[in-house]
Every structure is written in C-alpha cells, then in structure tokens.
Structure 1
C-alpha cells in the first residue's frame, strides 16, 4: 500500500501527530432506553456538530437488528446516509466505523467509497471492520472463520481498484482483472484514506504496514502506550497509523463529576474529561469518537457544552 505522504485535509483534520480531535458516531442522539433511535432533527444535529468544532461524523454499518446486541445504530444504509450528510455539511470529515467488509462485495464498496469521496469533495475516510455480530454471517452465507483472510484480500483489492489504472489482479475469493477495466472516479486526493475499526482479525504488523488510521475501543492509559509503541515499531519507514478509540459516552451535567465507567460507557464531567483527553493526547492518541446512545442528556446539549468548553481546550492547550 502507498503511504499518505501529504495527507488530504479530510484525514489530517482528524488524525495528526501531537493533536487530539473528537468526533461523533451516528445516530447523533441519546436513546438510552431503546435499541432504535428516532432520527428526529438529525440534519440539524449534524450541522450543530460541525458548527461546534467536531472533527468528524462516523456512520456505522448494521444491516440487521440483533436483539442480543441491543442497538440498531442509525438504521439507514451507511453510504446512502453519508451522501445525505455530505449535502447538509460543508467542512466536517465524514467516515465509516466501519463497513463490515467480509459481508460486502469489494467492487461495490470501492465504487461507493469513491462516489462518497467525490460527492463530499474529498472529505471521506473509509473505515473497515469485520463486525461485532457473528449472527449476521450466516444471513450473508459468509464463513465467519474466514473473515480475517477475506478482509485482507478485500482491502488489497479496494486499494488496487481505486489507486491503479487498468489493474491486473487475480484474487482467490473474488474476481480476475485482466487490465481491460478501470474504476472511476479516482480519489480526489490520490488515494482513499483507509482506517481499520477494531482489530479486524489482523496483526499489529499488518495494520501498521497497510492502513492509515486505527480506531479501537481500548482507552486504558497503559494499553494505549503499548499499542502506539507497537505501531511505531512495526511501521518501519512508513508513517505509523494514527491511533484513536471510540466509546459510549455520557457527559455528566456536573462539570466537576469524576471519570466513571459502567461496563462500556464512560460517564464524566467536562473538567475531568478535558484532563483525560489532554493526557491521552500526550500519550499519542489522535482521535476519539463518541457514541451518545447512553447519554441522559439530549445530544444538542452535549454538543453545545463540548463546543463551548471541551473542544477549545484541546486546541488552546
């Protein structure tokens, strides 16, 4: 894979060395007592997030509602929804966290990603995962145990189709390309920024050598140190992927409330949040994606407080 020597603005707005940015995961609303969001005012909330200074909006790929999982995400197809969001926003980076690649046909994913790149004027990051819901794999007639190898081959194919002219490729699980077909449009910035979401059944070495950014759910200080150190060591001469994490988030109305964790939900007041984010920035974390599903406050209230107090503190410090 080619390294991003001059990152497009869509990427550097979110992932840059010695800087930490914050994004939001769709649906951008609080719905703690239901697996289904309302999607009420979602256009206005996306516009509010951009105005508040959030770096990104991330769309999830959840084809089915699994009652055992308890969250239907934004319900809308991710690429269709991203097309809508690109029309109602101007500057904020848009991306996926992440497309469940083994369940999708890679030629179609490439075409959809390139279309989104063009429609958003280059504001797109393609985040790819192997998913977290094993029950979906039989529905797509895809071997769950083959997901790691399938993912690697699909990533290689996406890069070849999007970056090369009339590629010659023979794949094991997909098709053969004899140099007589070319995928268009090509990326506006030369190539699509790629992000792994979760481990995706891959080694640190593969991640460090292949992708441009990595979002995981690991936010423990010591674990962050080990992850970033491992990525740098494995990257060699290549720029190591930018590391970030995602978390379910509940901003306490008391600005002095301490950090608390309830299983996979972080509840915290803004002052402790600022301290925590600055500490993680100094550890090398470049981006944090917040999921407001468990919030006890309306998303608009959280966005306004973050935009007034938290996000400026990250740029001023």
Structure 2
C-alpha cells in the first residue's frame, strides 16, 4: 500500500482532525486476551450490535447514500431504498446515516440529505436483518429527549436493529444557526449521552444536569425498550480516551493512521475498567477501481483508493491489528452502484474473515 496527499478529500480540519500524539505506547505487545474481547451480555445478545462487532472479525458497513457521487455534494436519491436492500442481500453488516442539517460549501458533502431519523425509519421498513445506525447524531444540536424518543422508536420498529451513534458535530458553522455554544460541545455531548441513557433504561427516569431539563421520576418514558440501546461514539467528540474506553459501547473514528490501529485498540483495553470489550472501528472514503489488482493508496489516513483485491489485503492487515468495523463512504467511487457493491461483496466481504 502507498500513501498520497494529492487526492481531493473533504476538509479534514472541519472534521476535527487531530494530528497530536493521542495514544501512549502500549504496555505490552501481546494481543488482547479473549477475556477482554467479550461483549457484556446486553450487547452480546443484541441482534445488531453483536453482528456489527464480532471478536477477531472485521465487518463492513456502508455510509448513506451507499453509493458514489464524486461530482456533486448532493447525491441522487431515487434508488435509496433499493440500494439499502441490495446491501443487505449482499451481506454488509450495517447501514449508517449521517446528521447533516445544512449544505456547508466548505465541507462539500451532505450525506444522504434526508433527516437521519426519518430516513432510518424508512430503511427499517425496507429491510429485515441488517443493522441500521446513525453516524452520528449531532448531540449538542438536538434535544436529548427527542434523540431518545426517536432512537427508542426506531429500535422497537426495527426489532432491535438500531445502533445509536452520536457525535459532537463536524461543522462549526451550524452552531450559531441553532443558537448553541460551539466551545462547550464536549460537556453537552456527555450530558446528552447520560440523559439518553437514563431515559432509555428507567421507566420513570431521574436525571439532573446543567444544560438540559431535570427528570424527577414523575413521568414515564415511552416506548419502553426490552433490550438496552447500544450507544457508539462517532469521531473523537472531544472526549478523553478513558471515557471512550469505558462509557461508549464502541468507538468509530476517522483519519486513523493504519500503523496506529493496534496501539489504539490496546490503549482502549488498558484504560478499560469494566472488563468488557469496547470495539474500535473507523471510517474510510473509498474509491473502488475497476481493476481489482490496482494497488491500494491511502491519502491523509481516510481516503482509500484501489482495486478490490488490494483493499481486501489492506483491511485484512487492519483486522489483524484489532480493527472491528469499517464504515465505507463510497462518495468518490465513479462506478455504478450495483457493480460497486457486488465487487466489494464478492471480492472483499466473502474473503475478509476466512
């Protein structure tokens, strides 16, 4: 695999890209023990989370709209549902939707354009087995009560196929429009997270914070969930690593140097205090070449170009480093969507965990 800085990608400074040294040297070069790769019972028995995050396996999910749209910030969406059904049939583990309320020209991408919660409700009705997740809901820009309500509703309607991914926000320009403070987004992210957890685990929830209303136990939250809602941190969300290693059920980042993957996974295990496995994944923009043997090229640790055989080798190496899930954004791919997904399914998915 080669690296390149010439390929055009979205502005990573807007994504909160941080080039500082974040991870201590692993205390040991040994692989994480099997005991540390056990999900807690409420997640091991969850139909979506347990399929997306499997010990010693690497699964692949797709970022909406699940296809390439290299020449426009806004994709065509007439085949949105049809493409989701195809992804499920081909064996992808998850469909991920982003929370992008506006078109920011400096960012250059609007994801699936639709509101994520509405779109996930639509996909719930179109599909039967595949996990459906948010990547991620911008917590500081939404009421945690509304996030909890929409999440619980989607979980019930999908037969527990929903995974709530939350972020602190990609685009600073949106905060003034919502009359929200960009500078305290980290603490509001944590408080929103804690309030959502209280709402979705207590019949008559109690919670007291600084930024949102108090829950005093005198009103009940509905719908009541039979299984605990999986909650995943999307991006760094300006949180400390010990928070990510203990509070988030899993962590999906972006812009990760592949040489750091093993160290990140080991660091999370070192910092963990609940003796449970908290899986790690990351995002790749993928430009899938028609030539399956075209060498893989990684630009700025996020933009991956190459043929399916080369991408298989790259991701197999990352699996050996402990990576559990990749969210694939096909935006830069120029090939037709059906051809692209079939190539990935036949030449990557079918061989990745053999």
| Equivalent residue, structure 1, for 2:98 | 60
| Corresponding position: 1:245 with 2:300 | no
Equivalent in the alignment of 1:94: 132
Match of 1:13 among 51, 63, 73: 51
Question: Structure 1's 23 and 5: CA in aligned 2 closer, same or farther, altered over 3 A?
Answer: closer
Give the CA deviation at 1:5.
Answer: 5.6
Tell me what 1:33 maps to. Answer: 71
The separation in 2 between residues aligned to 1:124 and 1:57, in whole angstroms, is 10
1:292·1:299 contact (CA, 8 Å) conserved in 2?
A: no
5+ residue gaps, structure 2, are 1-39
Query: What secondary structure sits across from 1:145 in the alignment?
Result: coil
Provide the residue aligned with 1:201 in structure 2.
238
The two structures, once aligned, show a CA RMSD in angstroms of 1.4
Superposition deviation, residue 222 in structure 1: 2.3
Q: How many pairs are equivalent?
A: 314
1:154 aligns with 2:192: yes
1:10-61 deviation line (CA, Å, top 9, x unaligned): 0011011101100100012211111110112111111110011000000000
Deviations 1:100-150 (CA, angstroms, capped at 9, x unpaired):
000000000000000000111100000000111000000001100000000
Whole-Å separation in 1 of the counterparts to 2:215 and 2:292: 57
| 1:210 counterpart = 2:247 | yes
Give distance in 2, aligned partners of 1:143 and 1:179: 29
Which residue of structure 1 aligns with residue 144 of structure 2? 106
Q: 1:75 to 1:4 in 2, by over 3 A?
A: same
The TM-score with structure 2 as length reference comes to 0.86
1:188-238 CA distance string (max 9 Å, x none)? 32x100000000010010111101111111442321112111110111233
- Tell me, which stretches of 5 or more residues in structure 1 are unaligned? none
Q: 2:119 aligns with which of 71, 75, 81?
A: 81
CA distance in 2 between partners of 1:94 and 1:193 (Å): 11
Shift of 1:3: 7.5
* Separation of aligned partners in 2, 1:81 and 1:136: 21
Conservation of the 8 A alpha-carbon contact between 2:44 and 2:50: no
Q: CA deviation at 1:170?
A: 1.6
Q: Distance in 2 between matches of 1:120 and 1:25?
A: 18
Task: Provide runs of 4+ in structure 1 moved above 6 Å.
Answer: none
The equivalent position to 1:220 in structure 2, one of 257, 271, 294, is: 257
